[in-house]
Amino acid sequence: MSDTYFHPVSGFDLPRFAGVPTFMRLPYVPPGHERFNDVQIGLIGVPWDSGTTNRPGPRHGPRQLRDASTMMRAQHQFNGTRPFEAANCADLGDVGPNPADIMDSMDRITTFYNEALAAGIMPLTAGGDHLTSLPVLRAVAKNGPIGMVHFDSHTDLMHSYFGGTMYTHGTPFRRAVEEGLLDPKRVVQIGIRGTMYDEEDRDFAKANGIRLILIEEFHARGVEDVMAEAREIVGDQETYVSYDIDFVDPTFAPGTGTPEIGGPNSFQAVQVVRELAGLNIVGADMVEVSPPFDQSGGTAFLGVSIMFELLCVMSAQM
């Protein structure tokens, strides 16, 4: 029987507009809490966007995402999954970043995740810009390189920005490969599109065996076929899932810093996550929700809907 302490507050018991918002109305169980070691999947906010190179705002993402997440209910509408009964889930709170120091912030993020992983907690992250993934991977993949399924309109494989700045939201996965956190031959990046500076990032992908699925190929082949290949690439070994909200077309997700036209619709946005079922997932993130560019909260609602889909897939492993 599942532990009811870790069940979300029902909208039948407390209106969704009432109470202190946590991710999906789950209990708040930060490090040091007496039930911390009982958590199996921890939802973590990383309110940080110091890697952003143009339009800032994702530092406010976790707060808007928490508010939007009060709309999530207990059961998946299509497959019947009840993730809060399958696993002990909790909101672990936010990593406290240093907004004046990128390197210190990354150390703080890795330290927080090391503590969660030491307690046997699988992390589901709400960012934050995409540089967030690098310090998370430093914790998740500290014992050796892992695979990754990456949904994005950008590769985030650039070498550097502004004459040698190595840590931005356009470089995390280049650094992750260089640091031995990702096995490039077990990395697939889906939805890539948009105008380009040059071919540098794609050349790096080709040279290292990273599979890029451009948006033209995604639309031509369809979700099921593309995701079948993605599952084959990562296999049954440990895999991380990174989901940038700008994977989705800006018609459906305008609240992000670097939107690109021509992307998937909101249904395809959740379809691709459902096709991850059965993978050996060791952590996931959903990043780049930027409230200043969508104050209506629609982008955040899509973001937490994607997080719920990720939670359903992750909880099925328990």
Place of tokens 């979300």: 8
Q: 301 pLDDT band (50/70/90 cuts)?
A: very high
Cα separation of 306 and 85, whole Å? 19
Structure tokens given for 38 = 């009982």
Q: What is the pLDDT of residues 2-45, one digit of tens each?
A: 899 999 999 999 999 999 999 999 999 999 999 999 999 999 99
Report the share of the chain in percent with pLDDT over 90: 99
Report the share of the chain in percent with pLDDT over 70: 100
Q: Does pTM surpass 0.85?
A: yes
- The predicted model gives 135-144 an average pLDDT of 98
Q: What is the pLDDT of residues 75-111, one digit of tens each?
A: 999 999 999 999 999 999 999 999 999 999 999 999 9
**Has residue 1 got a pLDDT over 70?**
no
Structure tokens given for 112 = 């927080």
- In this structure, is the dihedral angle defined by the CA atoms of residues 98, 172, 67 and 10, taken in order, positive or negative? negative
- What does the mean pLDDT of the chain come to? 97
Q: What is the pLDDT of residues 226-247, one digit of tens each?
A: 999 999 999 999 999 999 999 9
Q: Give strand pairing partners of 165.
A: 161
User: What is the amino acid identity at position 213?
Assistant: I
Q: If 0-12 CB within 10 Å is exposed, 13-18 middle and 19+ buried, where does residue 190 land?
A: buried
Kindly give, in sequence order, each residue whose CB lies less than 8 Å from that of residue 280, ignoring residues fewer than 6 positions away: 236, 237, 238, 239, 317
Cα 80 to Cα 76, 85, 309, 313: the distances in Å are 5, 12, 12, 12
State residue 109's pLDDT score: 98
Minimum mean pLDDT range among 1-5, 49-53, 182-186 = 1-5
For every residue of 300-312, DSSP letters joined together read HHHHHHHHHHHHH
State residue 117's pLDDT score: 98
**Has residue 312 got a pLDDT over 70?**
yes
The SS3 of residue 118 is: helix
- Rounded to the nearest 10 degrees, how much is the dihedral formed by the CA atoms of 192, 187, 248, 225? 90
Q: 277 pLDDT band (50/70/90 cuts)?
A: very high
**Has residue 225 got a pLDDT over 70?**
yes
Structure tokens given for 272 = 């691709």
Kind of pairing between the strands at 122-127 and 41-46: parallel
Give, in degrees to the nearest 5, the angle at Cα 316 between 314 and 318: 90
